[in-house]
């Protein structure tokens, strides 16, 4: 009789089935998680592009130490992204690493003050169209832009002088300015709410770092800069600096840039002039990805336990060297039951998550987004790449959940197939 060690190298069930099944599951999880991150990046880029397309051009702009006039708006320079719960340490730590937490989260809020408590007052165009041919009563003010004949063309360049006054220019060959914002460290990323990578970011911040494959927004110009600490103090954020332990130390030497965004260059055609992208719900995607990660971890743990029980029972039968029909059907039934139970549980989970409103909203967006139209309208390679990636991932959702189920079924069938081979050739391989 051939001696079979429970953990021996000749034990097919332990040396082949368990490691291969778990490895495939882990690879699927890694692939789907990375796809979710890329989807988030492309969706954030689409949001920024869509915002830049639909903001009205800036007609006039000035700095003011007082409230802006009623026919102007106070420019919101951006948002401080907020923080998560944490605890005191040398730099502050997330609750994952805390036995208790004593630093409560701070919600995001808007910032509008620049140097020396200045507001930036802007006045936007109200009567304009994007068209290759201007109608009567309108005149051409740049590529595809038509402005009311009695109005000035919008601003295309702006500079801040030493005296904190603005020098503007209006060039018919350039795209108009559409927003004034602050940006961490350098020019802003194309992806909305992402910042360029910082060497040692403060661990409690909710800021997303790294511009990814799309890089910085090429349609931006830097107007001014100041220390990040001064910028926060101008916006009365001393209470935040005091509440987040050593946050002020982590931003020493960092600069904040004041930047102006321009409208993206689009191709001259009626289709592109009326281009509508989608408003991508970033928070909804983050919610879906959180559910997905928890789901995949549950599947891996469940599958490991199921494999462990089936393998131990299968090994106990093989070790007794019972070459009978009863033994064959015993092991076969264990494998068959594992297939049925695995697939049934996973499908229940899939059907549950398919009813999540966020997932249903993605299905709605998928029907709305016209990638064929959008891909013909931009001359920028980075924008075209974002459009292409977003379309790919929109087609991948909600199939992302179903693909995980399919891969799990493949793993289960592989285990069944290898187990049958092990039984059929038991004398040679066990």
For the segment 401-425, what is each residue's pLDDT rounded down to a tens digit? 555 556 656 666 666 666 566 556 5
Note the pLDDT of residue 302. 67
Residue 118 sits in the same domain as residue 221: yes
Number of domains in the chain: 2
Note the pLDDT of residue 7. 39
Bridge partners, residue 180, by sequence: 260
Note the pLDDT of residue 100. 62
Pairwise CA distance, residues 161 & 265, whole Å: 28
* The two structure tokens encoding residue 400: 């992302």
Whether the predicted model's global pTM rises above the 0.85 cut: no
Residue 298 sits in the same domain as residue 408: yes
DSSP 53-110: HHSPPEEEEEEESSPPPTTSEE---EEE--B--EE-SSS-EEGGG-SS--B--B--EE
Flag whether pLDDT at 318 surpasses 70: no
Residue 270: inside a domain, yes or no? no
Pairwise CA distance, residues 63 & 121, whole Å: 6
Asked if 167 and 158 count as a contact pair (C-beta separation under 8 A), the reply is yes
Residue 371 sits in the same domain as residue 335: yes
Preceding amide of 333 cis, omega within 30: no
Residue 273: inside a domain, yes or no? no
* The two structure tokens encoding residue 352: 């549950």
> Which structural domain range is residue 94 located in?
56-262
For the segment 189-248, what is each residue's pLDDT rounded down to a tens digit? 999 888 888 777 888 888 888 888 898 998 899 999 999 899 998 888 888 888 887 888
Residue 200 sits in the same domain as residue 327: no
Q: Which residues contact 143 (CB under 8 A, 6 or more apart)?
A: 173, 175, 265, 268
- 108, 252, 379 from 247: Cα distances, Å: 16, 9, 41
Q: Which of 213, 228, 262 is the endpoint of a domain?
A: 262
* The two structure tokens encoding residue 48: 């920024």
Residue 138 sits in the same domain as residue 212: yes
Residue 411 sits in the same domain as residue 324: yes
Residue 287 sits in the same domain as residue 251: no
Note the pLDDT of residue 326. 47
State the angle between helix axes of 282-319 and 18-54 in degrees (0 to 180), rounded to the nearest 10.
170
Residue 179: inside a domain, yes or no? yes
Q: Which of 262, 291, 312 is the endpoint of a domain?
A: 262
Residue 346 sits in the same domain as residue 222: no
Residue 371 sits in the same domain as residue 257: no
Flag whether pLDDT at 97 surpasses 80: no
Residue 242 sits in the same domain as residue 137: yes
Q: Nearest-CA neighbor of 41 among 387, 292, 368?
A: 387
Note the pLDDT of residue 379. 83
Q: Which of 215, 231, 262 is the endpoint of a domain?
A: 262
Note the pLDDT of residue 154. 92
Asked if 221 and 157 count as a contact pair (C-beta separation under 8 A), the reply is yes
Residue with tokens 């595809």: 144
Pairwise CA distance, residues 96 & 111, whole Å: 30
Q: Nearest-CA neighbor of 180 among 259, 79, 63, 124?
A: 259
Residue 1: inside a domain, yes or no? no
CA 139 to the chain's CA centroid: 41
Sheet holding 177-184, edge to edge: 177-184, 255-262, 220-227
Note the pLDDT of residue 155. 92
Q: How many CB atoms lie within 10 A of CB 202?
A: 19
Q: How many CB atoms lie within 10 A of CB 303?
A: 23
Residue 174 sits in the same domain as residue 314: no
Q: Residue 178: phi, psi to the nearest 5?
A: -125, -10
Residue 98 sits in the same domain as residue 214: yes
Residue 50: inside a domain, yes or no? no
Burial class, 83, CB count within 10 angstroms (exposed 0-12 / middle 13-18 / buried 19+): buried
- Residue with the bigger pLDDT between 116 and 306: it is 116
Note the pLDDT of residue 25. 65
Pairwise CA distance, residues 176 & 158, whole Å: 11
Residue 202: inside a domain, yes or no? yes
Residue 91: inside a domain, yes or no? yes
Q: Are strands 157-160 and 220-227 parallel, antiparallel or unpaired?
A: unpaired
Asked if 270 and 129 count as a contact pair (C-beta separation under 8 A), the reply is no
Residue 5: inside a domain, yes or no? no
């Amino acid at each position: 009789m051939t001696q079979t060690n429970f953990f021996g190298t000749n034990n097919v069930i332990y040396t082949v089935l368990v490691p291969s099944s778990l490895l495939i599951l882990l690879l699927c999880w890694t692939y789907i998680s990375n796809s979710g991150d890329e989807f988030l990046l492309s969706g954030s880029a689409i949001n920024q592009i869509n915002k830049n397309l639909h903001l009205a051009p800036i007609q006039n702009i000035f700095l003011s130490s007082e409230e802006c006039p009623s026919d102007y708006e106070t420019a919101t320079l951006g948002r401080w992204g907020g923080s998560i719960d944490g605890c005191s340490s040398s730099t502050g730590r997330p609750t994952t690493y805390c036995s208790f937490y004593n630093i409560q989260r701070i919600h995001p809020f808007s910032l509008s003050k620049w140097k020396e408590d200045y507001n930036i007052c802007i006045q936007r165009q109200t009567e304009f169209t994007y068209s290759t041919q201007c109608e009567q009563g309108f005149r051409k003010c740049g590529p595809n832009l038509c402005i009311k004949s009695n109005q000035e063309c919008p601003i295309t360049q702006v500079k801040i002088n030493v005296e904190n006054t603005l020098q503007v220019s209006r060039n018919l060959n350039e795209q108009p300015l559409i927003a004034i914002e602050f940006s961490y460290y350098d020019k802003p990323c194309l992806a909305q709410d992402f910042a360029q990578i910082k060497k040692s970011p403060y661990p409690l911040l909710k800021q997303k770092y790294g511009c990814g494959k799309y890089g910085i927004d090429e349609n931006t110009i830097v107007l001014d800069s100041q220390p990040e600490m001064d910028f926060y103090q101008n916006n009365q954020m001393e209470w935040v600096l005091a509440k987040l332990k050593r946050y002020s130390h982590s931003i020493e030497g960092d600069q904040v840039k004041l930047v102006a965004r321009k409208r993206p260059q689009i191709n001259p055609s009626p289709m592109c002039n009326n281009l509508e992208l989608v408003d991508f719900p970033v928070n909804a995607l983050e919610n879906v990805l959180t559910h997905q990660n928890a789901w995949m971890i549950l599947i891996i743990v469940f599958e490991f336990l199921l494999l462990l029980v089936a393998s131990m029972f299968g090994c106990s039968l093989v070790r007794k060297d019972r070459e009978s029909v009863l033994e064959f059907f015993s092991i076969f039934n264990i494998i068959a039951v594992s297939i049925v139970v695995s697939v049934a549980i996973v499908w229940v989970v899939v059907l549950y998550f398919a009813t999540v409103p966020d997932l249903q909203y993605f299905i709605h967006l998928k029907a709305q987004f016209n990638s064929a139209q959008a891909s013909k309208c931009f001359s920028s390679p980075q924008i075209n790449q974002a459009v292409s990636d977003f379309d790919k991932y929109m087609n991948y959702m909600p199939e992302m959940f179903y693909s995980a189920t399919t891969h799990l079924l493949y793993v289960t069938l592989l285990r069944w197939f290898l187990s049958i081979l092990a039984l059929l050739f038991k004398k040679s391989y066990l």
